Amino acid sequence: MEIKKEGLENIKTYIDPFHIGQDRQKKVYDEIKTNAEDDFDFSVLIVFASIIITLGLVINSSAVVIGGMLLAPLVWPILALSLGLVEGKPKLIQSSAYTLLKSAIAVFFISFIIGLISPGYAMDGSEFLSRTAPTIFELLIALAAGFVGAFVIAYPKIGSAIAGVVIAAALVPPIAVMGISIAHRNLTLAGGAFILYLSNLIAVTFAASTLFMVARFKGPASESGQAQRKNNIAWTLLFLIVITIPLLMITTNAVKDKSQQTLINEVIAAKLPEANIKSVEIDSQTEIVTVNITIEYTDTLTTEQIENINELLSREMNETVISKITVIPIIRTWEINS
Statement: residue 149 has pLDDT above 90: no
Q: What is the structure's pLDDT at 228?
A: 78
Q: Where are the beta strands (DSSP E) in the chain?
A: 276-283, 289-297, 321-329
Query: Residue type for 32, please?
Result: I
pLDDT at residue 120, as a whole number: 81
The residue among 130, 168, 126 whose CA lies nearest residue 150 is 168
User: Predicted confidence band at 283 (pLDDT cuts at 50, 70, 90)?
Assistant: confident
Closest to 253 measured CA to CA, from 185, 192, 203: 192
pLDDT class for 133, splitting at 50, 70, 90? confident
Three-state secondary structure call for residue 102? helix
Grade residue 315 by pLDDT with cuts at 50, 70 and 90.
Answer: confident
Output 18 or 243, whichever has higher pLDDT: 243
pLDDT band at 5 (very low <50, low <70, confident <90, very high): very low
Torsion of CA 226, 232, 235, 239, to 10 degrees: -150
Structural domains of the chain, with CATH: 2-219 (1.20.1080), 256-329 (3.30.300.20)
Confidence of residue 163 (pLDDT cuts 50, 70, 90): low
- 3-class secondary-structure state, position 326: strand
Nearest to 77 by CA among 168, 157, 171, 156: 171
Average pLDDT (301-329) is: 82
**Mean pLDDT, rounded, for 122-131:** 88
Inter-residue contact 78 to 204 (CB < 8 Å): yes
